[in-house]
Chains A and B, each alone.
Chain A
């Protein structure tokens, strides 16, 4: 076995992905590419394979030897290794500070590749972005002050399941590609054959594709030469800006990117003038991740997903049309949710299965959209701007403060990822590498009587700053019993949960979701940071059946406890969305009494906070059960009608601070 790279020309399919990489190889001014896609779609393989097409280059700073065309930035890189720092060994010998170039220097004139870019620590991201934007890396650290060129093509891959990229960072990438698995069986078979051939004899395999690879490499080299002479007719500039406007793109980056990409496209095909075809070939790649920004920042392609969803719903709609027809006209004319309610009641009396179908089906949900209050509307139009704007904008500022607050609390722990060092002394979590670097330049002048090579003094000591991502955990425990379906209570609840999810996304918290109905509680979503997954889950959560309240709260508690074992510093918040009408017990006792008893017991765990969102319909005979449970849990208590988007923010803010 060898450490051979899979040849670029042997990658099956993934045409968009390959195109975007080739364009960037031809013209670095495009500004890189981010590749989104499910796991196992040859994302990383293809990017690394690009290295086989590009010549090795000399390093700009430090000037020793060659560095590969594709430089990988691993997730666990520390700040000094990315930006550069003191060369410890030479400082020892020569007694002065000498700059040791970091990854940014190595990547100069090449490609900087970040696998799983959505998981990279924020402040490393900031350093990389700074350099990517200015084309140079400014180092002011460890007594070193220097600037060196660092113009590189930023290539990132990510799996959206693991959480999304900050919109800010997303916009930095010139192009965006969605990598999907091949849907053609023949191609999949071919892919298996090639992969196995590569694993069996990588050298032979590489040789086999050598010719084709060389041909592409030559094309890139030629295109690079041709590029400065490629012109773009002015009417095409108009066409580009028209495209951008049509797609609601903010800012001018998209225009520039399309222009550069179109030039590269023309050059790659040996043409000196950009044609309409060149523009249309690349425009999609530059617009896909910017288009949505006017719509909604958090989950990047909500509009698309929403559409799919809608499409699906419509199909189902057609199927169900016949049986549902009588109810619909009334609903559409805005006379309220009465027919819906009747259905609901019928469902209740006829049994759970029926109930489920109605509640889960689109017809049960969609008409709600049109005739209920704005709170309810949030649910099904998650992607629509108004929901997000209210929450996202004020949040954005708060989030930064929030994350700052969190990292301070993290510093006290000797856990987490070591990202940089500091002179401040707090907890004896000594960063020896930084300490050594600090001490190195003075070694020649220090008395050394202990036979050690290095003499350390107090002023050399540096401590580690660690980052631990996602310290908070929100566990949603959702009552999905039949009683929740009445009068769109569930619709409103879903809206509330969705808003909290978006908030969790922005804070990069972890989430988990438990629902309870019928016979027991299920963990719909184990602890994850993927809000998209949670949103999908929520969208399709069926409602109906009895209320096994004890099972639900116990499950949520269990999740929180397990998480605490793993991350003792975490602050899990259990958000309980229910009307409290427990009617199914875990044991043989009375359901309600059991619910109260369990709540009382659980409240003794002080590390877990509880939030109760009461979904009981006001105005009817109020049981106030959820309120009582909230009391027993020492939980913060809210009526669902108080849950306007704005007030929601305060709740979470208060609970997390």
Chain B
């Protein structure tokens, strides 16, 4: 079979906010995802699929469909082996392997049993034993769960996503199966706001939110067409042309991942974030936490070990649009950049 080429991430023209948000999530998976809002044909899906190109490798326990890390709780590992009917090797001999972080796609029409996992019917019929057929949430553990048109997802599938996104655990209590396994994933969703809004609860689960539009600059549009054409003409050549860029990006991400734990945020920065969230009116605390994490990640991506005000500004732009309490009679506006900036400077000025 011919090798499938994905369009290289670095070859995407413009859409800097979206690219940044995705990269930040790769550096720091605890950012818990991005919601990409925008019209059709704005390279939303291309960008997410292109991520495969630049994702780092992780170490997993082999022979299990759960992408478990070797230092997961022993009880959990044991149970995971048990439910899939595999033999659990002796404690010190867990088979470890490397694999790239996966992008798992959740189709809008997915049924609940495929998402959470269910009884392995074939095995039940043939062997008369209970065994689990893991679902998408198992494959997405430590990876990226990508939902195209996330606003069209069925309500009860959304409930399931919320459940596991909340605690990082997928609990199956259905069809004779009682089992739970870790499922911490970066949720990446795309949506076209014209087709309806997301439930507030789900909206809040996305760490960051970006709005993208078609590119306005004619020169850039020409570049888009040229690159697309070159890619379709000869994907192999095109991808190899971009290899250098991709490698650079991968290296930069790797360094940022290493640096991240060492990044410090000053107390006054934290207070600025908190005051700011209080000021603009955000539900709960997730906004604060995500801004802090994002600011740290931006600093790390920039190769700095200290968070600066600009990092916080930029983080707020990504973390707040979907969290600000909506006013009645106001459509859900994404382009709140100016508002944010003003507010931010007011707050900062006042604090000083």
Contacts and interface: CB of A to CB of B under 8 A. Distances in A.
Nearest to A524: B329
A132 B201 CA distance: 28
A476 to B, nearest CB: 14
A61 B152 CA distance: 42
A73 interface: yes
B174 interface: yes
Interface stretch (A75-83, A340-348, A616-624, A632-640): A75-83
Interface in A61-96: 72-78, 80-82, 85, 88-89, 92-93
B175 A433 contact: yes
Interface in B104-145: 112-113, 116, 119, 121, 124-130, 142
A72 B180 CA distance: 10
Given A193-B270, A418-B112, A522-B331, A85 B176 contact: yes
Contact of B200 (A161, A468, A523): A161
A102 to B, nearest CB: 8
Nearest to A566: B152
Contact of A88 (B130, B160, B199, B277): B130
A495 to B, nearest CB: 18
B219 interface: no
B173 A76 contact: yes
A320 interface: no
A196 B155 contact: no
Interface string A307-349: 0000000000000000000000000000000000000000000
A417 B159 CA distance: 11
Interface stretch (B12-20, B45-53, B282-290): B282-290
Interface string A601-645: 000000000000000000000000000000000000000000000
B174 A76 contact: yes
A469 interface: yes
Contact of A433 (B119, B167, B169): B119
B314 interface: no
A3 B274 contact: no
A76 B292 contact: no
B246 interface: no
B69 interface: yes
Nearest to A193: B270
A439 to B, nearest CB: 10
B346 interface: no
Interface stretch (A37-45, A254-262, A280-288): A37-45
A78 B173 contact: yes
B329 A81 contact: no
Contact of B199 (A1, A2, A162, A565): A162
A454 B128 contact: yes
Nearest to A436: B124
B321 interface: no
Contacts of B155: 469-470
A196 B293 contact: yes
A159 B278 contact: no
B173 A116 contact: no
A565 B142 CA distance: 33
Interface in A512-547: 515, 522-524, 526-528, 536-537, 539-542
B311 interface: no
A188 interface: yes
Nearest to B142: A1
B71 interface: yes
A418 B184 CA distance: 25
B218 interface: no
A92 B328 contact: no
Nearest to A106: B178
Nearest to A101: B178
Contacts of A373: none
Nearest to B168: A3
Nearest to A77: B173
B159 A116 contact: yes
A189 B201 contact: no
Contacts of A181: 282-285
Given A39-B204, A81-B177, A159-B200, 18 more contacts: A37-B284, A88-B130, A89-B128, A93-B128, A100-B176, A116-B159, A119-B159, A188-B278, A188-B288, A416-B156, A432-B119, A432-B175, A433-B175, A433-B176, A453-B124, A454-B125, A541-B329, A542-B329
Interface of B: 30, 69, 71-73, 76, 112-113, 116, 119, 121, 124-130, 142, 152, 154-156, 159-160, 162-163, 166-169, 171-178, 180, 182, 184, 195-197, 199-201, 204, 261, 267, 270-271, 273-275, 277-278, 282-289, 292-293, 296, 328-329, 331-332
Q: For the complex of A and B, list the 4 residue pairs with the smallest distance between their C-beta atoms, beginning with the closest.
A: A40-B284, A453-B128, A40-B286, A188-B274
19 contacts: A38-B283, A41-B283, A44-B166, A74-B173, A75-B163, A88-B130, A116-B162, A159-B200, A162-B200, A188-B274, A199-B293, A415-B154, A436-B124, A436-B125, A453-B129, A454-B125, A524-B329, A539-B328, A566-B152
